[in-house]
Amino acid sequence: METPAIFWGVILWMIAWGVLGSILLRRRYFARDLDTTNANFVGAMAGAALGPVGIGALWAKTPELTGRIIVAFALLAVVLIAGAFAFADPKNNCVSNGSFVASQITNGLIIGIIYGFMALGLTLIFSILGVVSFAHGEFYMIGGMLVYYITAVWLPGINPLLAVMGACAIAFLIGALFERLMLTPMYTGKIDRPVEYGILATFGLAFTLQYFVQAIHGASPVKAERFIDFPRIRWPEDSDPLWIRASRGNLELFETISISNPRFVAAVTCILVLLALLYLLHRTWTGKALRAVSQDRDAAAIAGIDPHRMNMLAFALGGMIAALAGALLVQAFSWLPQVGAIPAMRSFVIVVLGGLGSLPGAFVGGILVGLVEAAGTGCIPDAQKAASYIPAYGMIVLTLTLLLRPTGLFGRRFASGAHGQ
């Protein structure tokens, strides 16, 4: 029997038992009058990981599904898939080549942090306005475009940090203006179906922004200069391999993991801004007001918070976060007016995976999606196909999440705003 046949056989076996487990266990927990929220997920994972044994054990004992059980089964299933893959294709780069795996994981983590940061903006908008912004990718795009135009066309020689801040400020203004002009009728009950209105309105904004930039800029790709160069580092001096070796555009850890300068700078900036954002949300009056509105709009209004102003702030902040992600990545990727589509899709996946409206969920989800994409691009033998399928990896995650655990990793059942209706 050929090895790929074994691999696909194992996968089919896992899928079959996973489907069966998710259906059976949900029924079992339902019949026993137990909490069924996680039964789907655990059933699928137990079926996938252990087949009839796992389902049988859970069926017989119906234990309370704590976080530990959930994580254990999920990890087991992932390990099993990885094992089957390694067995089926032992010569594959991501099985035999340890340093490749390490650098792939590191890069997945780094890009995942940036994705997670971008998704944070989306989830901030959703948790307060109850609207999924379909213009998120376009904010990302104009962030990058503005940085390119400021540093290369309008004010050559300007400090890139100022350019990034300028791009963020403009994105903030666009977000605030759009919210004031277009989204205000949503809050007063003038519209029958506010959620759909919000989707269409942001969709319209995305359309307009994209073609506006295309009309002004044209369709030629651009790329900004590196913001800063790494200093030359060799540390520690006398060890072999060197633990850290940095040159202008590259950073190497242990001489195996290579991280490019733009991604590193972007990830570090994202973490710093994230910390600032957490400070804003948890330590300042405005941030507390924002969180209060996301928890209970009416109660917040009684406590003297103007929910409409918080809506504006949230939308503008969310747009600004996306623009910042774009502004940081314009030095890493070449930029087109259409560049926002894939990051926007990714943010949607992350936000659903983490739980719509959950801030930590967005970050964890971002890292998970970054790792999944790194695994997908690294492990599929045909490199060209692997690259073409990039949007699909996230979608597999999205589909599984929606089927097995629609609330996401950290999802709240109910949130305020116009959703949940």
Partner 1 sequence: MKRIPDIAGVLLLAFFAAFPLVYTGANYDYVMHVLITAFFYAILASSWSMLAGYAGQFSFGHMAFMGIGAYTTALFCHYFYITAEPTGLCTEFAFFGNWFVIVNPIGVTSTTLTQDCLRQAMAGWGDSVSVTPMPVLLGIVLGTIAGGVAGLLVGLLVLRLRAAYLALFTLGFSEIVKATISAEIDITRGQAGLELPALFENGVTVLGRTFDKTDKIPPYYAMLFLLVACLAILAWLARSRFGLFVRALREDPDAAAALGVNTTRYKVYVFTITTAMAAAAGAVQAHYVQIITPNMLFLLQMSLVVAMAVIGGIENFVAAALGAIFLQIMLEVLRTSFTIGGVEIDMTTWRLVFFGILLMVVLRFFRNGLIAPVIARFRRAGVAEETVAKRRAGEARS
> Site residues (CB under 8 A) for partner 1?
126, 131-132, 134, 181-182, 185, 191, 193, 195-197, 199-201, 203-209, 211-212, 214-215, 218, 341, 345, 348-349, 352, 356, 384-385, 388-392, 394-395, 398-399, 402-403, 406, 419
Question: Smallest distance, Å, CB 193 to partner 1?
Answer: 7
Tokens of 390: 């990039």
Q: How far is the CB of 34 from partner 1 (least distance, A)?
A: 20
Cβ distance to partner 1 smaller for residue 54 or 326 = 326
Q: Which is nearer to partner 1, 245 or 419 (CB)?
A: 419
Taking the complex as a whole, how short is the minimal distance between the CB of residue 414 and partner 1, in angstroms?
A: 13
Of 47 and 340, the one with the shorter C-beta distance to partner 1 is 340
Min separation Cβ 132 and partner 1, Å: 4
Q: Identify the residue whose tokens are 């998704």.
A: 119
Tell the residue number behind the tokens 């992350």, with chain if given: 350
Q: 201 or 325: whose CB is closer to partner 1?
A: 201
Q: What is the DSSP letter of 400?
A: H
What residues contact 123, with CB distance under 8 A and at least 6 apart? Answer: 351, 354, 356, 357, 358, 359, 361, 362
Residue 185 or residue 221: which is nearer to partner 1 going by CB? 185
Q: At what angle do helices 261-283 and 285-295 cross, to 10 degrees?
A: 80
The structure tokens 């359309």 sit at: 207
Q: Which residues pair with 90 in a beta bridge?
A: none
Q: Helix, strand, or coil here: 159?
A: coil
Look at the block and give the residue holding tokens 């989306």. Answer: 122
* Pairwise CA distance, residues 238 & 240, whole Å: 7
CA distances from 205 to 5, 122, 137, 181, 319 (A): 48, 15, 11, 11, 12
Q: Among residues 24 and 131, whose Cβ is nearest to partner 1?
A: 131
Closest distance to partner 1 from the beta carbon of 285 (Å): 29
Least CB distance to partner 1 at residue 114 (A): 20
Q: Which is nearer to partner 1, 217 or 291 (CB)?
A: 217
**Judged by CB, which is closer to partner 1: 165, or 395?**
395
For residue 172, the minimal CB distance to partner 1 (Å) is: 19
354 contacts 397 by C-beta, under 8 angstroms: no
Question: Is the omega angle on the peptide bond into residue 236 within 30 degrees of 0, that is, cis?
Answer: yes
The sheet with strand 244-247 has its strands ordered as 233-235, 244-247, 250-253, 257-260
Query: How far, in Å, are 142, 263, 320, 324, 400 from residue 172 at the CA level?
Result: 11, 23, 5, 10, 34
